[in-house]
Amino acid sequence: MGQPSILVIDGNRAATREQQVAAGGQPSGEGYAQVLKSLAAVSCDIVRPADGEVRFAAGGGLAGYDGVAITGSALNVYEGGAHIERQIELARATFAAGVPFFGSCWGLQVAVSAAGGCVRRNPLGREFGFARRIELEDAGRRHGMFRGKPPVFEAITVHRDDIEQLPAGAVVLASNDMGLQAIELRHGAGTFWGVQYHPEYSFAEIAATALRYGAALIEEGLFADRAELEVFVNDLRTLMRDPRDPRLTWKHGLGEGLQQDSCRLVELRNWLELQVLPYARQREGAAARRGFDAP
């Protein structure tokens, strides 16, 4: 089998990507692609619909890919605009094409919107840093996305919005006190796996995100002042070097889900193994049969 190809849809605008890099992080599309390629022998193309019209590198448009993944974003679906509508239309096209589909945070919100659901500003406020006590529903405990995941876990997160109304075809897989945290969504010809948190984020990436949001986090009362924010950032950088640091794992209440990359990345690894790779084999087999049947 040839190397499966994944389309990564970067949800952010150029200015946000530049701010993230300036704070010590990675551009959202490149960071996501790097994680996917670390988990499986796949190639990744990146498109940036928030910055303009999409041009596909693979032949045949979406049909040339074995998977599509949408990154997080600083945007809000309900604000509207062409930079958001292009992403929703691309999600609709992905569902119609039947290509395996995954989304983190913003990606979940875009897929839900594309299928007819509704996103709102979370009345409980922003969830930032670590999503606490995410618990698998019965459907989640049986679902392939969470194969190898503890039934209760923490995850790296940053989001202000949540799902107000799910579309038809959605099954809730996990939730916590802040709301829905994971779903499967069957819509059109496609199946979407999505999470409200960021399995692709390292401690370093959420540290950069904390610096990028900075004043907003203080205004919202998540940090008392800049000094407290910087203590948190320094803790994250220490955890990046040693995710099992006993003082900091106790201080921040971090379990195995964040102390081991193998557990943190379960959702993405399972999507690749259970959705993308089988789809790639099926697509390659169909192409071979067409070639065999050709006169």
Q: Where are the domains of the chain?
A: 5-293
Mean pLDDT by 10 residues, the chain (295 residues): 92 98 97 98 97 78 95 98 98 98 99 98 97 98 98 97 98 98 98 98 98 97 97 98 96 92 96 98 78 56
At 142 the pLDDT is 98
CB-based contacts of 90, cutoff 8 Å, min separation 6: 9, 47, 49, 54
Interhelix angle 82-97/106-114, rounded to 10 degrees, is 70
Residue 228 CB neighbours (<10 A): 13
- How would you class 264 by CB atoms within 10 Å of its CB: exposed for 0-12, middle for 13-18, buried for 19 or more? buried
Whole-number Cα distances in Å, 49 to 27, 86, 224, 251: 14, 6, 36, 40
Predicted TM-score (pTM) of the model is: 0.94
Placement of tokens 């006190």 in the chain: 177
**Cross-strand bridge partners of residue 159:** 127
Name the DSSP class of 65: -
CATH 3.40.50.880 describes domain 5-293: yes
